[in-house]
Amino acid sequence: MSGDTEQHVLAAARLVSAPAEQAYAAWTDSEQVRRWWGPHGFHCPLATMDVRVGGVSRVTMQAAPEYGRSDDSQLLALHPNGGALPSAVRLALHRPGRHRPHPRAQAGIPGDGVPAVVPHLVTFAAVTDRDTAILVLETGYTTDRARDLSRHGLEQCLDKLSTHLKAAGRGSAAG
């Protein structure tokens, strides 16, 4: 059913309680990314974000010790794609060829169906002045299983992002 050339697209969306600028900053500010990136049980010890055209960002996610791993599990690079639209901003994420990816088995990522490069497109669209729709598209998976495992992790990342933005919104009232 799935061949090497067949791609399975992952789409995940979330409506977050934050202005579009705040949601965008949560994806592009190194300190904020470290607070929420990674599925449950994972943390982000390193995020260096440079989302300028030609910039390179690195995001590292680590498994918790109870998962039996503490190795870096994924490096991603962020580059702006397109530009600002009246109500949406897009970022394209991918792992460029000049960076050596970590071995997938070492990271706990199944090798079957997960390519070395998984392009991401993240769109932020203002719904109201206090709410933003975020759409994430990932491409390159060659099996349903690989796509579905990634969807599970991405959904957890988006849950953590939503929680982060709620906490940041409460904190912004004080300062």
- Does residue 93 fall inside a structural domain? yes
Who contacts 153 (Cβ-Cβ below 8 Å, separation ≥6)?
Answer: 38, 39
Segments in the chain forming alpha helices (H): 20-28, 30-36, 104-107, 144-172
Q: CB of 2 within 8 A of CB of 114?
A: no
Residue 172 pLDDT: 60
pLDDT reported for residue 159: 96
Strand stretches in 17-158, DSSP E = 42-48, 58-63, 72-80, 88-94, 120-126, 132-141
The pLDDT, as a whole number, for residue 88 is 45
Q: What is the CATH number of the domain that holds 71?
A: 3.30.530.20
In this prediction, residue 149 carries a pLDDT of 87
Domain count, the chain: 1
Domain assignment present for 47: yes
Structure tokens of 74?
């994924």
Residue written as token pair 């791993």: 69
Query: Could you tell me if residue 30 is inside a domain?
Result: yes
Residue 1 domain-assigned (yes or no) = no
113, part of any domain: yes
Residue 130's pLDDT is what? 93
What pLDDT score does 95 carry?
A: 42
pLDDT of res. 62? 76
Taking the C-alpha atoms of residue 101 and residue 22, their distance in angstroms, rounded to an integer, is: 30
Q: How far apart are CA 44 and CA 62, in angstroms?
A: 6
Give residue 116's domain range: 8-172
Residue 60 lies in a domain: yes
pLDDT at 103: 52
Q: What is the pLDDT along the chain (175 residues), one digit of tens a residue?
A: 444 456 788 999 999 999 999 999 999 999 999 999 888 888 888 888 877 766 667 777 777 666 555 444 443 333 333 333 334 455 655 444 444 455 555 555 556 777 666 777 888 999 999 999 999 988 888 889 889 988 998 999 999 999 999 998 876 654 4
C-alpha span between 64 and 88 (Å, rounded): 35
Distance CA 49, CA 37 (A): 13
Residue 2 is assigned to a structural domain of this protein: no
151 DSSP β-pair partners: none
Is 76 part of a structural domain of the chain?
A: yes
pLDDT at 146: 86
